[in-house]
Chains A and B, each alone.
Chain A
Amino acid sequence: MQETNAFTTLLKRDFMVAFRHRNEIFNPLLFFSLVTLLFPLGIGPSPTLLQTIAPGILWVAALLAALLAADNLFRTDYEDGTLEQLVLSPQPLPLMVTAKVLAHWLVSAVPLLLLAPVLAVSFGLDAHAIGVAELTLLLGTPVLSFVGAIGVALTVSLKRSGMLLALLVLPLYVPVLIFGSNAIDTAAAGLPVSGQLYLLAALLVLAVTLAPVAIAAALRMSVSQ
């Protein structure tokens, strides 16, 4: 019972903190749309070309936005000492970490889900493909949050960790990128995509069950320094 209480209190706390910094919520969103904007500018406005590369662009931009947003996941908690208190609390750390990642996902990725259809339309994707894109983002972005959290937990005690975090986390993002963008691609060609979606769902299950343990172990390591 008290675990559930601690879980929801922590979830609420992180929401509240995010809400009190609501201007920062828009940063990943801005980044996401800016990155997608750069591609037409760099490649040229040819609609057929843009339509072909749209799935890849959407997912690469989502990946980078997730990476950028993840950096803040444990940073302030580490600096103000609440992370130390969390690690030393009798509550099960993997569960507490799940609450934090969940709050982070709701705050940083859900707005992305809302914006993605608009960007997809600008790339000329049809309604079916956009629907699939949303589904892949819905299944894939939590994986990004959980996997990214492992990298953040490992590097939170370091002063400048940006590049290192990218090096640690981006290779692990590869499967999500492949399955996610391919599903949109396949949907745009009018073919069934259930296979890719199942694979993404499997990745999600794996991430939700295994990542919290790794995150907790990494946080214990980081806090002990």
Chain B
Amino acid sequence: MIKTEAAPSNSGLFKLWYHRMASPVWFYRISGKLLPWLWALFAVLLVTGLYGGLVTAPADYQQGDSFRIIYVHVPAAWLSMFVYMVMAVSGAIALIWRIKLAEMVLVSCAPIGASFTFIALVTGSLWGKPMWGTWWVWDARMTSELILLFLYLGVIGLYSAIEDKRMASRAVAILALVGIVNIPIIHYSVEWWNTLHQGATVTKFDKPSIHIDMLIPLLLMAGAFKVFFAISLLLRTRNELLERELPRKWVKQLVEENDG
């Protein structure tokens, strides 16, 4: 009549359990080994990119030296979209295959993406001052970027509002997927709105005739930013992982190892 909860687990169950447990531990170890290499790669790309961009690249014949802000602005703007993509893809993985690691990647992406978007907006506005004589114009790219920032803030807000973090990551995954369907539509509509209201505006990249000496540092910087994104994503995911797996054995072992 009385049945208690602790039924002995058979070996099949143990395997299942082990398989599930293995993936976070594996991720933690591998990412720990990967990080120093990424830091090194980042340093190389950053130094060469900055040197190329700030020293060797010729000044723009129209904008003078102020164009050099593109070495921060453009990589940040590219990444702001890319991070959202990563976020939505891991959201889909988290929802479909219920992989916990994907959930953690997803929630780690949002603050990074928001920061890149913010940097793109600030540098864009700093660049706008000498170019247009004003801090802000309602140009299509900047407006889209601003809306993207709000989309990121929505993701962050939703995640922090829901107490149960597993539920919160599911909510955020759904929102990220809704966002990724909407971003092209928003982008297109804003672009369309812009051409209607301002006629042909001077967009920053309407002429692809960028000089090769300017382009190479730009690509180097883009690479540096991407590696930096990878680094911060790994760091954040590792943190999230430790926090969520706090009661598990391997985390305790890790703490003991580091203490001793």
Contacts and interface: CB of A to CB of B under 8 A. Distances in A.
Among B161, B164, B190, B196, max chain A CB count under 10 A is at: B161
A214 B157 contact: no
Contacts of A174: 147, 186, 189-190
A224 B167 contact: yes
B182 A172 contact: yes
Contact of A178 (B150, B158, B174, B190): B190
Contacts of A203: 185
B170 interface: yes
B186 A175 contact: yes
Contact of A217 (B147, B158, B174, B190): B174
B193 interface: yes
Main secondary structure of the interface of B (DSSP, over half): helix
Contact of A155 (B95, B147, B158, B170): B158
Contact of A154 (B147, B151, B175, B185): B175
Interface string A8-51: 00000000000000000000000000000000000000000000
Contacts of A154: 158, 171, 174-175
Contacts of A222: 171
Contacts of A170: 150
Interface string A93-134: 000000000000000000000000000000000000000000
Interface in B152-178: 153-154, 157-158, 161-162, 164, 167, 170-171, 174-175, 177-178
Contacts of B158: 154-155, 164, 168
Interface of A: 150, 154-155, 157-158, 161, 164, 167-168, 170-172, 174-175, 178-179, 182, 199, 203, 206, 210, 214, 217-218, 221-222, 224-225
Interface of B: 95, 147, 150-151, 153-154, 157-158, 161-162, 164, 167, 170-171, 174-175, 177-179, 181-182, 185-186, 188-190, 192-193, 196
Given A206-B181, A221-B171, 11 more contacts: A154-B174, A158-B161, A158-B162, A168-B175, A174-B189, A175-B182, A175-B185, A175-B188, A178-B193, A210-B181, A221-B167
